[in-house]
Amino acid sequence: MFTGIIEELGTVTAVEQHGDSVALTVRGPVVVQDARHGDSIATSGVCLTVVEQTPETFTAFVMKQTLDMSAHGSLAVGDRLNLERAASVGDRLGGHIVQGHVDGTATVLETADGDGWRRVRFSLAPDLSPLVVDKGSIAIDGVSLTVSAVSSEDTPAADSWFEVSLIPETLEATTLGARVPGDRVNIETDVLARHVRRMLRLDAAVRPLEGDARPLAGATGPLAGAALGQEAR
């Protein structure tokens, strides 16, 4: 588990193809200082397992599914990555619970600089739209952030978006400061939202068999098929 508080900016030093997977070597002297074989390190939001290390670098294998679902499939030597070691029991939870299991990618749509901060708008895939809410938590390239705005429910699915506001520290200490329109980023939605959606879908599938298929009041879109629990239970 991670918290989305980035410890350092790492640099990709090698990308070696191994069949349909990749051996990725990253320079990150801070995160490897106490790393051991088998430890987890989040690389721009993707949790990877250390298989080799030197005093300044670590190597991890990236499987095909991860390459397909994340922006890691296009990594090249010299690219920068946000690095974070797994949280220890007793650590302060400065961000939010981040698993390092990305849901997919988003594209930077536009940026706008304010007085000491930057607003960034990202695309939002239709299947992830129900999991992103205003003032909710989201991890972008492994950075724990708060959603500052989200497209309305009546926005066409293909045009859905969300925004975050970045402070100078985030712009300087992470890769997000260099993102421009057209760039792809890894996103991980809130794990609690994912569990709730799963439970609603299962409930909707089971409820008709029990003779109570009433839709959730006011539910639309992906949640329209969910059902209310029976009050008598």
Residue 1 lies in a domain: no
> Structural domain of residue 58, as residue ranges?
8-85
Residue 48 lies in a domain: yes
138 and 163 in a single domain? The answer is yes
pLDDT at 69: 95
Residue by residue, what is the 3-state secondary structure of 9-48? EEEEEEEEEECCEEEEEEECCCCCCCCCCCCEEEECCEEE
Q: Give the pLDDT band (50/70/90) at residue 211.
A: low
69 and 112 in a single domain? The answer is no
133 and 113 in a single domain? The answer is yes
pLDDT in tens, 81-122: 999 999 988 777 788 889 999 999 999 999 999 988 999 999
145 and 204 in a single domain? The answer is no
Of 101, 148, 102, 99, nearest to 122 by C-alpha is: 148
151 and 137 in a single domain? The answer is yes
134 and 168 in a single domain? The answer is yes
Residue 231 lies in a domain: no
Give the whole-angstrom CA distance, residue 152 versus residue 120. Answer: 17
67 and 17 in a single domain? The answer is yes
Q: Which of 41-55, 165-179, 206-220 has the lowest mean pLDDT?
A: 206-220
Summary mean pLDDT of the chain: 89
Query: How many folded domains does the chain comprise?
Result: 3
pLDDT in tens, 145-161: 999 999 999 999 899 99
* CATH number, position 187: 2.40.30.20
pLDDT at 195: 83
The stretch 15-22 carries a mean pLDDT of: 96
The stretch 7-31 carries a mean pLDDT of: 97
Residue 46 lies in a domain: yes
Instruction: Give percent of the chain above pLDDT 90.
Output: 73
Residue 141 lies in a domain: yes
Q: Which residue would you say has higher pLDDT here, 201 or 60?
A: 60
178 and 198 in a single domain? The answer is no
pLDDT at 192: 84
- 43's CB contacts (< 8 A; 6+ apart) are 10, 24, 26, 60, 72, 81, 82, 83, 142
116 and 146 in a single domain? The answer is yes
115 and 169 in a single domain? The answer is yes
Residue 36 lies in a domain: yes
Quick check: 38 pLDDT over 70? yes
The stretch 15-28 carries a mean pLDDT of: 97
Residue 3 lies in a domain: no
134 and 59 in a single domain? The answer is no
Residue 210 lies in a domain: yes
* Percentage helix, strand, coil for the chain under 3-state DSSP, each rounded to 5: 20, 35, 40
The pTM of the full predicted model, rounded to 2 decimals, is 0.84
pLDDT at 205: 82
Give the whole-angstrom CA distance, residue 123 versus residue 107. Answer: 5
